[in-house]
Each structure stands twice: as C-alpha cells, then as structure tokens.
Amino acid sequence: MKNDNSRLVYSTETGRIKEEAAAPQREKGDGIVRIQRQTKGRKGKGVCLVTGLDMTDTELKLVAADLKKVCGCGGSVKDGVVEIQGDKRDQIKAYLEKKGHTVKLAGG
C-alpha cells in the first residue's frame, strides 16, 4: 500500500518549501457567447449570465465593466461567468456583436 502523503514541505538546505497552486483551468468554449437569463436562487431577482468568453479574469472584469456602463446597472464576474443585473439581454447582445463575438440567446 502506497502512501500519497509523501510531499516535501521542508528542506534543511532551503527551508520551507511552498507548494505552488496551479491556476484553475476553464474548459475551452466553442466560440459562441451565450446569454442566459436566470432567477433561480436569487429571490426572484433576474440576472443575465454571459458565458463562453475565452478570456482571463482581468479581461473578463474589463468586459463586465463595459457591459455595466452600457446597460446602466450592476454586475460581477464569478468563476469565468459575467453576471449583469436585470433583463438586459438585447443590449448585451448588441454590444458583444459590435465587438465581433458570435452571440446566442440561451434559455427561455
């Protein structure tokens, strides 16, 4: 039986060895940005979820900031998904298509 707890945490030559945490890998999309309206778990308040943008977190935050300015509402970025408050799917779609993305309205 092999023990999997055999990682090196201290060396007398170099001192404490810090374990480097790998950045979480997101799965690659199919190149289509999807905009979905969701109210589940939000006490009836609707938000638009923008998924499928293959960008880093800092780039996503910049896109979210631009979308919030265009829509005139709040929002955030969580786990690679841009959340915009309210039902602003048409405004979001127009903005992203202007930026050169292929956009689909997903869900009901």
Per residue in 36-69, pLDDT (tens digit) is 988 887 787 889 999 888 888 888 899 999 999 9
Domain count, the chain: 1
- The CATH number given to whatever domain includes residue 46 is 3.30.780.10
pLDDT band at 26 (very low <50, low <70, confident <90, very high): low
Whole-Å CA distances, 95 to 41, 44, 63, 100: 27, 26, 10, 9
45: containing domain: 22-106
Q: Is residue 16 part of a domain?
A: no
**Mean pLDDT computed over 17-32:** 67
Structure tokens belonging to residue 51: 């998924």
**Packing angle of the helix pair 57-71, 89-98 (nearest 10 deg):** 120
Whole-model pTM? Answer: 0.70
Question: What's residue 28's pLDDT?
Answer: 63
Question: What's residue 98's pLDDT?
Answer: 92
Name the strand (E) or helix (H) holding 48: strand 47-51
To the nearest whole number, what is the mean pLDDT of the chain?
82
Whole-Å CA distances, 36 to 16, 18, 43, 67, 89: 47, 41, 17, 15, 8
Q: Is residue 90 part of a domain?
A: yes
The distance of Cα 33 from the centroid of its chain, to the nearest Å, equals 12
Say if residues 83 and 42 touch (Cβ distance below 8 Å): no
Residue linked to tokens 């929002």: 75
